[in-house]
Structure 1
Amino acid sequence: MLDDRKLDDRKLEVLKAIVTDYVASREPVGSKALVERHKLDVSAATVRNDMAALEEEGYITQPHTSAGRIPTDKGYRLFVDKLARIKPLSGAERNAITSFMNGTADVDDLVMRTVRLLAQLTRQVAIVQYPVAQHDVIRHVELVSLTAERMMVIVVQSSGRVEQTVLEAPTADEGRLHGLRQKVAAATIGRGPADAAGALVGLLDTIAPEDRAFAAPVIASVLETIAAEPASQVVVAGVPNLAGAAFEANMRPLLEALEEQVVLMRLLGEAAGDEVTVRIGQENTAHGFQSTSLVASGYGADFGASLGVVGPTRMDYPSTIAAVRAVARYVSRFLIEG
């Protein structure tokens, strides 16, 4: 009997060839085609014997009565763990990442650019979790008078998140506005959201009585902004890519799962880590994802966030792993240097 520790080099090469051909063609792979395309230097009969051994051990299977074989989840796992060489990104792909991400304005923009880029590079469904800094602090607070009846409150956090709120309330002259801006900044800048909120709660008592009607809605707006969680914890792009993925299983559970934030957070949480993680088929315990593969990576060490792609188990793993790793490193660099 064979196992993944005892497979000899030739059988490993046969498995690698089957995975490579099936990913490219979507068609079951026969022994004659393997010999012709991969120059295995053995007869088709020998390859058939190797395929029989691989099938007995559960690495490949025969989907129809044809002679062709396709990889199983176990076969893909062995391919990823032992056989796949990560394809270096081409110069064009590296340039695409740089140009697509250049000019990123804030964290919201970063997340949206990242998820679209991953979907385009891999032609799979991309999933990106919002970065939430574990030691986030308020970096800047600005109050901007727009009209006599409108004011904008801007809060910038150290994670790069920028929140803007427009207040429909009478504004004060520039001198009073400047004074309030200084007080709000002193209470918040350099503090975490919880500490800043605590300081703001008592701030209104330090405001002159004649200014409290003007200051109260501003302080309340800053409080609401720093206490708010991101509007969406996980964003998804590339769902139309599923149409060309040739899933053999019913896609409805997957489509429903892609709309559930809790499911997506769990999926990424299971694969979180500094290095790229690959979960294949039944290794994904989240409902709706048992017929898929997930390639994911953590990013931004201080932010506890992950990103990745979901697609069929018949996936170009070397290229997908390279893309996920490159994008995760780029986003991490942006967050650290930003």
Structure 2
Amino acid sequence: MEQTRRMLILRAVVEDYIRSQEPVGSSALTRKHHLGVSSATVRNDMAALEDMGYLIQPHTSAGRIPTELGYRYFVDRLSTVMTLSPAQKRAIGAFLNGSVSLQDTLQRSARLLASITGQVAVISSPALSKSVLRHMELVPLATETLLLVVITDTGSVVQHTLRVDSPPDPSLLDYFTRKVNESSQGLSLSEAAMEVRGLALAPEFSALRPLADGLAITFASMAEDEQATDMYMAGTSRLAHQQSLNELAPLFDALEEQVVIMRLMSSLSEESNDVGVAIGSETHTPGLLNASVVSSGYGHSFSSNRTDGGTGSEGSAQASRGPDLRGQKAQGYAGDRAQPGIHKVDTGHIQASEPSGVAVQATGASAGQSPSPDKPVAFVGSIGPTHMDYAATMTAVRAVARYLTALISPTGEEG
């Protein structure tokens, strides 16, 4: 009974400190919460919690504040994520629905998340190594140069130039492109590379063998490039207005190390089935010792397990919203790949929400495959002080992750 009461007091201290950012005293705690005991008992329990490492007293005769251990206990016992109203769900859809591409959607999502939390929002684009091929095009640019445009199941659009010794026959090039799409649609890029190597051996494509070899090498390189992921960040200026610059200097230094941040959030999202939280030293990042990181993965990577002998066929799931990149002209892809960066926003406070029936037209797996979801293809995260509002931040991160999962999911699932 005594232990249960102490944990209730700990929870109350954490909630009050998150709200006020001022040390919490026993008298104030007794006054605000119906604990059923005297102020003296609360004071003794707070002293016991301090001895246990959950609280600390920054100054003599001052109230107490949570330690990293106290925050961890609090977060681990957040039983449910906040419920969102239909109006809140519509707010996120209204803000994101005007997106014209996946990159635009990710930028908007970062701004939205930063606006909701008042913290730094970080969102990664889907990793090519976890994506599958939806469509590819080979477009002649010059006498000895072709533009390769690759569209993945997650909506990513990647461009690459291929050099050829002489201009290929247009009709043969069109036929080769069609065969690549037929055999490789729904495969991972590494599997697509193997399919293209097989096509290169066909007598009918002997004239295109150097091109086919180059295409296979390019597919394989894309599949192996773990760093080919953009990171979209927002909210640093907003956070700077709320915290002391001296306190934020280590955090800003850490944010400069984008590879470290991406590795941390990716690992956190993959280890958690829903929303992962790392507090202070748990981040194993010196610049984040006074910060907390909340992250959730979005999308699902699929293993194809092909049994169709290498012949793919189209399958699609019709859906309601989101950028459908198929059918765009090749020149429309140019410049579509946005650069990661920090963007200041002034959109006001928008409540977090979950997607409602959001999905896009997406190509399903090829015939003979049995897709199985593996790890998320990317992450959504928020970085802020250890006294952040964990419940609200976790809700917001989860909501944006579910929206993005629905956006790029072949089945339109909300994850």
The bucket for the TM-score relative to the shorter chain is: 0.7 to 0.9
Shift of 1:70: 0.9
Q: Tell me if structure 2 keeps the 8 A contact 1:21–1:29.
A: yes
Please tell me whether residue 141 in structure 1 is matched to residue 140 in structure 2: no
Q: Tell me if structure 1 keeps the 8 A contact 2:291–2:384.
A: yes
Shift of 1:37: 2.0
The within-5 A match list for 1:289-304 is 289-302=288-301, 303-304=376-377
In the alignment, what sits opposite 1:327? 400
Q: Out of 48, 53, 58, which is 1:58 matched to?
A: 53
Amino acid in the other structure paired with 1:118: L
In the alignment, what sits opposite 1:187? 180
In the alignment, what sits opposite 1:94? 89
Counterpart Cα distance in 2 of 1:226 and 1:160: 19
Q: 1:135 to 1:66 in 2, by over 3 A?
A: closer
Give CA-to-partner distance per residue, 1:253-288, whole Å, 9 cap, x none: 321221223211331144123221111111111232
Greater alpha carbon shift after TM alignment, 56-65 vs 180-189: 180-189
In the alignment, what sits opposite 1:263? 260
In the alignment, what sits opposite 1:111? 106
Q: 1:220 to 1:116 in 2, by over 3 A?
A: farther
TM-score, structure 2 as length reference: 0.66
Percent identity, aligned pairs only, is: 41
Q: 1:86 to 1:218 in 2, by over 3 A?
A: same
Shift of 1:311: 0.8
Greater alpha carbon shift after TM alignment, 195-204 vs 269-278: 195-204
Counterpart Cα distance in 1 of 2:77 and 2:153: 41
Shift of 1:216: 8.5
Q: Secondary structure at the match of 1:8?
A: helix
Q: Out of 159, 162, 175, which is 2:157 matched to?
A: 162
Q: 1:181 to 1:108 in 2, by over 3 A?
A: farther
Q: Tell me if structure 2 keeps the 8 A contact 1:128–1:308.
A: yes
Gaps of 5+ in 2: 302-375
Counterpart Cα distance in 2 of 1:232 and 1:193: 15
Give CA-to-partner distance per residue, 1:77-120, whole Å, 9 cap, x none: 11112256532234443222222332544443343233222222
TM-score, structure 1 as length reference: 0.79
In the alignment, what sits opposite 1:240? 237
Shift of 1:72: 0.9
Shift of 1:127: 1.8
Counterpart Cα distance in 2 of 1:80 and 1:29: 19
In the alignment, what sits opposite 1:3? none
The number of equivalent residue pairs is 326
Counterpart Cα distance in 2 of 1:65 and 1:318: 31
Q: 1:158 to 1:27 in 2, by over 3 A?
A: same
Shift of 1:310: 1.1
Q: 1:304 to 1:217 in 2, by over 3 A?
A: closer
Counterpart Cα distance in 2 of 1:132 and 1:66: 52
Greater alpha carbon shift after TM alignment, 251-260 vs 222-231: 222-231
Shift of 1:180: 1.9
The within-5 A match list for 1:70-85 is 70-82=65-77, 85=80
Q: Secondary structure at the match of 1:241?
A: helix
In the alignment, what sits opposite 2:329? none
Shift of 1:61: 1.1
In the alignment, what sits opposite 2:333? none
Counterpart Cα distance in 1 of 2:262 and 2:130: 21
Q: Secondary structure at the match of 1:155?
A: strand
Q: Tell me if structure 2 keeps the 8 A contact 1:263–1:287.
A: no
Give CA-to-partner distance per residue, 1:131-152, whole Å, 9 cap, x none: 2265633322345689999986
Amino acid in the other structure paired with 2:395: A
Q: 1:253 to 1:217 in 2, by over 3 A?
A: farther
Q: Tell me if structure 2 keeps the 8 A contact 1:126–1:308.
A: yes
Amino acid in the other structure paired with 1:256: D
Give CA-to-partner distance per residue, 1:175-213, whole Å, 9 cap, x none: x6454233123135425433544666749996797xx8x
Task: Give the number of the structure whose alpha-carbon radius of gyration is greater.
Answer: 1
Shift of 1:249: 7.1
Greater alpha carbon shift after TM alignment, 227-236 vs 89-98: 227-236
Q: Secondary structure at the match of 1:131?
A: coil
Q: Secondary structure at the match of 1:258?
A: helix
Shift of 1:129: 2.6
Shift of 1:232: 3.7
Shift of 1:314: 0.2
Which of the two has greater helix per residue?
1
Gaps of 5+ in 1: 1-5
Counterpart Cα distance in 1 of 2:79 and 2:196: 55
Q: Relative contact order: is structure 1 or structure 2 higher (C-alpha 8 Å, sep ≥ 6)?
A: 2
Shift of 1:36: 2.0
Greater alpha carbon shift after TM alignment, 191-200 vs 290-299: 191-200
